[in-house]
Copies of this chain bind each other. A is one copy, B any other.
Amino acid sequence: MQIKEIAKKYNLQPDTIRYYEKENLIYPKRLDNGYRDYGESCEEQLQFILVFKQLGFSIKEIHQLFEMRGKTISIECNDTSVLLLDQKITNIENKIEFYQHALKVIQKIKSLIDDGKYAENMEVIEKLLLNFYKDIYKERF
């Protein structure tokens, strides 16, 4: 697969994929003419990247995870990687809680606005907004 093809398949720009390569996240083979050739392992790497990006890992952190993934001995699976996962898990747990709370209120606000009754409901909405961020603020910070 050439770069344009895989880029299209994963809804990315060729430049983005080349950028991931520059950041050592992906290693496509090269054809005789020097063109990059993306195979299955590249696709897997790319999927890994996309998923962990969504999970809030930075490019550097994904790189760390890749390094960890390759190790075979537990000693080599160093503390920083475990710590990284640990932090991220707490992070993700917090985010879920946060989003779930937020979702309810945002949906309520939206339904009021959708009814075209923002004027009438303005006070309710204001109160919701006010309580919303105050509640969340209290809970999360």
Contacts and interface: CB of A to CB of B under 8 A. Distances in A.
A119 B48 contact: no
Interface string A118-141: 110010001001101110110011
A139 to B, nearest CB: 10
Nearest to A129: B69
Interface in A37-75: 44, 47-48, 50-52, 54-55, 69, 71-74
A69 B136 CA distance: 18
Given A89-B103, A89-B110, A114-B82, A137 B72 contact: no
Interface of A: 10-11, 44, 47-48, 50-52, 54-55, 69, 71-74, 77, 81-82, 85-86, 88-89, 92-93, 95-96, 98-100, 102-103, 106-107, 109-110, 113-114, 116-119, 122, 126, 129-130, 132-134, 136-137, 140-141
